[in-house]
Amino acid sequence: MAQVSKDMTIAQVLEIDRGTAPIFMEFGLHCLGCPAATGESIVEAAAVHGIDADALVEALNDYLKDK
């Protein structure tokens, strides 16, 4: 089972499973295809968008554990 961490980029998580896209969208990260998605870590993107990075990572890992 893949595990997501806050230091991963959005693009890295999407490479693991494209099904994570709706989770990013639910948290307000709609920039899945923008250049920042490949250069910023989840924690950096969360800070810019005012999102709780821990809650996002937890939701992503909850989704992936059922895979």
| Residue 46 domain-assigned (yes or no) | yes
Query: What pLDDT shows up at residue 54?
Result: 98
Query: Would you call 7 helix, strand, or coil by DSSP?
Result: coil
Specify if 1 maps to a domain: no
Quote the CA–CA distance of 1 and 28 in Å, as a whole number. Answer: 25
Q: Domain range spanning residue 25? A: 10-65
Residues recorded for the chain = 67
Q: What is the CATH number of the domain that holds 36?
A: 1.10.3910.10
Question: Tokens 């709780």, residue?
Answer: 52
Amino acid at position 43, single letter? V
- pLDDT tens figures, 8-56: 999 999 999 999 999 999 999 988 888 888 889 999 999 999 999 999 9
Provide the pLDDT for residue 37: 84
pTM: 0.92
Give me 28's structure tokens. 């307000």
Number of domains forming the structure of the chain:
1
Residue 14 falls inside a structural domain: yes
